[in-house]
Structure 1
Amino acid sequence: MATDNEHVVIIGNGISGVTAARFIRKLSDKKITIISGETKYFFSRTALMYIYMGHMKFENTQPYEPWFWEKNRIDLVFDYVDEVNTQAKTLRMRQGETINYDKLIIACGSTPNKFGWPGQDLDAVQGLYSYQDLEGMEKYSKDLERAVIVGGGLIGLEMAEMFQSRNIPVTFLVREKSYWDAVMPKEESLMIGRHIVEHHIDLRLETELKEILSDDHGRARAVITNTGEKIECQFVGLTAGVSPNIQFIKTSEACDIDTQKGILVNDYLETTAPDVYALGDCAQLMNPMEGRRPIEAIWYTGRMMGETVAHTICGKRTAYVPSLWFNSAKFLDIEYQVYGDVRANPPSNHAQLYWEHEEGRKSIRLVFDKETNAILGFNLMGVRYRHEVCEKWIEEDTSIEEVLQNLGLANFDPEFYDEYEAAVIEQYNRKFNKNLKLKQKRGLTGALRFLKNKFARQE
């Protein structure tokens, strides 16, 4: 039973942990402590690249002023947890302190993958996840003649863009046949690959890291690839994905928390230890929803988890039910949005409508069910759609033809952005031998009316 004299301790001050703290405070007078050895205050991790590029200062990435925490009675401990004792309900800190808890939330995020490459622990070899990683990039950029980045995901391309902002040449090693082809459909993957090359990044497809060579001072000086090529460099970025940051859980002796790749949690984000919860990147759902991954290292799912567990801890046991899958990013100059079910290797019941602008930097992909014609997903490159409109269409199983006829409702800002709805319908008519017409464009006013009707029906 929840009581207001409980001590809730949160390991990690990212979006998951901070959201949990904020909502616990809204719902109760419990004592709250957040522990982090990365930074004292919560900051926006996605903004790290903009600090390096000179677009922002670190203090501008902190959503809350320093006084916020004291005003809301949230204690901050700047330290790392070395051991969790779930039997005694204690945490042993790296600086020697012991902290007792009544409820424990583990929201300790991720750590960049290492796969046992020779030289992976040399100086100037690192990932891009933490504030300390940003400091490392800053330190080693001073005399940097070339960087080699390993891994073809979003973080690797962000790191390449960061170095390019300082005119530091980059070689990008991607083991796949095209960039991020395990996630992106073929056409979008090829588009991003072309865009990377256009930005003078030395993209090496189907190329893997074999070894990192050291100089006389223990710093990286070159890499050897799986083709036997030697590439001189003074920095190696390891961006081949991330894994849950849970080594301290696995090495804790009196800890009854079961783990696999991440910390195993049930539908209520409860671990196998009493009064212990796990959120965000480090949590592995035992029973993920169909079509969803057991670990989703995404900002908005971490935020939802934080809010959900706050209700449980404050007396209203609440299951975690993720909303519609959504992600957004920026590939150099190309914005990316995905809503719903869009796969690199779609199942047999998925039909695809793909339109690409002649300049090769914009595309719209609509995915729908072959049997029911219900819209399943949107994949957008260089084009922005309204989140709420796409979400409503998918949730209500709207037919592909109704979506196409009203596609103007999703256009983010018709007054300032080009519209491509007519071209998409023309593509649909050619591919499926139809004669569909675009309904009258209704712009922002129509979209607001559309959403107002949606919420009115829900009430």
Structure 2
Amino acid sequence: MEHIVIIGNGISGVTTARHIRKNSNKKITIISGETKYFFSRTALMYIYMGHMKFEHTKPYENWFWEKNNITLKKGVINSVNTANKLLAFTNGETVSYDKLIIATGSKPNKFGWPGQDLEGVMGMYHKQDLEKLEKYAPNNKTCKRAVIVGGGLIGIELAEMLRSRNIPVTFLVREDSFWNGVLPAQESAMINKHIKEHHIDLRLSNNLKAIKADENGHVKSVIIEETGEEIFCDVVGLTAGVTPNIDFLKNSDIETKKGVLVNRFLETNIKDIYAIGDCAEQQKAIGQRRNIEAVWYTGRMMGETLAQTICGNKTAYNPGNWFNSAKFLDIEYQTYGWVFSEKNKKENELYFQWKHPKEYKCITISFDKDTHQFLGINTFGIRMRHEIFDKWLTEKRAIEHVLEYLADANFDPEFYKLYEPQIVAKFNKENNKKIQPKKKSWKRIFSKT
């Protein structure tokens, strides 16, 4: 019986295993060094904040794996012998495979800062990071201050977590505005203001120089690169992005760059070896997508796709239109298609922007200046329907069509205030148009044409 070994039990690896099992009786082994059972990584913050317990983050009961004849093995792989199809664990054990799937995810970036491996320094990606946070920052008496390094999505989540226990937070962001390499200026400025309103000490244009230790090898303080200022703290969160977790492949024949190089079928250069999820790097970018995408839903899609190939139906990975969502403290964020920061947008792109005069609600719509083709939208504080924007992007609709039927895309609950008339009125005024926004139509929303 063919033996499929999957290294990594995150969303990518587990999705692959489940779909292989749905379509075959192949022998499946999942290896993980983090936890035995699959859990929702994005829910870790809610455990610390008291909204959930760890067992609530596991989508499947512990008996699920045995019932579905999927073997779980806890351990860390040290090396891959591709010639003999053999994996070696750090404890000396070995396991053979017929097909190997690498789904080892990411690890926090470290840039050689002095003190980056001290006690009290952590990322916020693994369950072990959560355990460290509970150890070193259980409350504001044990942890008098935390410093977060890096202004991305994980950083803002960690800041929210710490503030939920009233721990003072200093947030070091090297850019001159939060996440302005991704967000347009209007949106980035709004997030800056929102962060400060949550009593977070936001330090823009500030880089970490070093982390200093006390006499016990624990974090004592950080030094700011630009000013030399010393900030005393008990915890340092390193959230300056992530990198593929593939160190164990250094001495193998598997081709790597930043991640494990794969083609559109998620195949590596070695027959019967594949890579998916955060650790996979496309040899050629798919459209405007990045070669490496550390995103939950793309990992799931890769797992579903690869399972088809493993079961004899060779299938290319086709993620479709880009989308993502996140939360900046109290502000919900969604993006569909492509909306870049001003410094990264293309020559043919124009932006239409609307912002609520008082509340944290705004949108940015990107469109082609010549054809008016809708290219993408960012929404803050207004929930939108993924399937509607996906349809409009695929159909290459004009921005005028998007605005006319924008109410169909609104996903906010009944009785929420709607802002489509104000949004369309601003576009009409700026562009000398006479678009009349349509009322929401369930018939249109659920229409397949």
User: Shared fold by TM > 0.5?
Assistant: yes
- Partner residue of 2:213? 214
- Partner residue of 1:185? 184
Asked if residue 69 in structure 1 is aligned to residue 68 in structure 2, the reply is no
What's the secondary structure of 2:5's corresponding residue? strand
Asked if residue 434 in structure 1 is aligned to residue 433 in structure 2, the reply is yes
Deviation of the 1:368 alpha carbon:
1.2
Task: Supply the AA of the counterpart residue of 1:135.
Answer: E
Contact 1:196 1:203 in 2 (8 A): yes
- Partner residue of 2:110? 114
- Partner residue of 1:13? 9
Query: In 2, distance between residues paired with 1:267 and 1:413?
Result: 36
Contact 1:146 1:169 in 2 (8 A): yes
What's the secondary structure of 2:195's corresponding residue? helix
Task: Supply the AA of the counterpart residue of 1:311.
Answer: Q
Query: In 2, distance between residues paired with 1:212 and 1:416?
Result: 50
- Partner residue of 1:274? 271
Asked if residue 139 in structure 1 is aligned to residue 135 in structure 2, the reply is yes
Task: Supply the AA of the counterpart residue of 2:41.
Answer: R
Task: Supply the AA of the counterpart residue of 2:258.
Answer: K
Of 21, 29, 32, the residue aligned with 1:36 is 32
Query: In 1, distance between residues paired with 2:377 and 2:163?
Result: 31
CA offset digits 1:356-391 (Å, max 9, x no partner)? 001141101111111221111110001101111111
Asked if residue 104 in structure 1 is aligned to residue 100 in structure 2, the reply is yes
- Partner residue of 1:247? 247
Runs of 4+ displaced beyond 6 Å? none
- Partner residue of 1:86? 82
Two-structure CA RMSD over aligned residues (Å): 1.0
Deviation of the 1:99 alpha carbon:
0.4
Which structure 2 residues correspond to residues 377-392 of structure 1 after superposition, within 5 A?
A: 377-392=376-391
Contact 1:35 1:78 in 2 (8 A): yes
Contact 2:408 2:445 in 1 (8 A): no
**What TM-score does the superposition give when structure 2 sets the normalisation length?**
0.97
Deviation of the 1:414 alpha carbon:
5.4
CA offset digits 1:337-370 (Å, max 9, x no partner)? 0001111121111111100001141101111111
Task: Supply the AA of the counterpart residue of 1:231.
Answer: I
Query: In 2, distance between residues paired with 1:108 and 1:379?
Result: 30
Deviation of the 1:416 alpha carbon:
3.2
Contact 2:108 2:123 in 1 (8 A): yes
Query: In 2, distance between residues paired with 1:9 and 1:140?
Result: 36
Task: Supply the AA of the counterpart residue of 2:309.
Answer: T
Query: In 1, distance between residues paired with 2:412 and 2:379?
Result: 15
Which structure 2 residues correspond to residues 433-452 of structure 1 after superposition, within 5 A?
A: 433-439=432-438, 441-442=439-440, 446-447=441-442, 449-452=443-446
CA offset digits 1:107-150 (Å, max 9, x no partner)? 00000000000010110011100000000000001411000000
Query: In 1, distance between residues paired with 2:285 and 2:308?
Result: 20
Which structure 2 residues correspond to residues 158-307 of structure 1 after superposition, within 5 A?
A: 158-226=157-225, 227-250=227-250, 252=251, 255-307=252-304
Count of residues in Structure 1 that have an aligned counterpart in Structure 2: 443
What's the secondary structure of 1:353's corresponding residue? strand
Deviation of the 1:93 alpha carbon:
1.1
Mean CA deviation greater in 365-374 or 273-282: 365-374
Which structure 2 residues correspond to residues 406-445 of structure 1 after superposition, within 5 A?
A: 406-413=405-412, 415-439=414-438, 441-442=439-440
Query: In 2, distance between residues paired with 1:257 and 1:27?
Result: 28
CA offset digits 1:155-175 (Å, max 9, x no partner)? 011111111011100000000
Query: In 2, distance between residues paired with 1:139 and 1:116?
Result: 24
CA offset digits 1:270-292 (Å, max 9, x no partner)? 00111000000000000111211
Task: Supply the AA of the counterpart residue of 2:199.
Answer: H
What's the secondary structure of 1:453's corresponding residue? coil
Unaligned runs of 5+ in 1: none
Query: In 1, distance between residues paired with 2:24 and 2:390?
Result: 32
Mean CA deviation greater in 200-209 or 393-402: 393-402
Sequence identity of aligned pairs in percent?
60
What's the secondary structure of 2:50's corresponding residue? coil
- Partner residue of 1:322? 319
Of 326, 332, 336, the residue aligned with 1:339 is 336
What's the secondary structure of 2:421's corresponding residue? helix
Asked if residue 453 in structure 1 is aligned to residue 417 in structure 2, the reply is no
What's the secondary structure of 2:447's corresponding residue? helix
**What TM-score does the superposition give when structure 1 sets the normalisation length?**
0.95
Task: Supply the AA of the counterpart residue of 2:313.
Answer: K
Deviation of the 1:451 alpha carbon:
4.3
Query: In 1, distance between residues paired with 2:5 and 2:415?
Result: 47
Of 46, 52, 62, the residue aligned with 1:56 is 52
Asked if residue 405 in structure 1 is aligned to residue 401 in structure 2, the reply is no
Contact 1:149 1:238 in 2 (8 A): yes
Contact 1:191 1:360 in 2 (8 A): no
Query: In 1, distance between residues paired with 2:415 and 2:106?
Result: 38
Unaligned runs of 5+ in 2: none
Asked if residue 149 in structure 1 is aligned to residue 148 in structure 2, the reply is yes
Query: In 2, distance between residues paired with 1:19 and 1:271?
Result: 19
Query: In 1, distance between residues paired with 2:247 and 2:36?
Result: 22
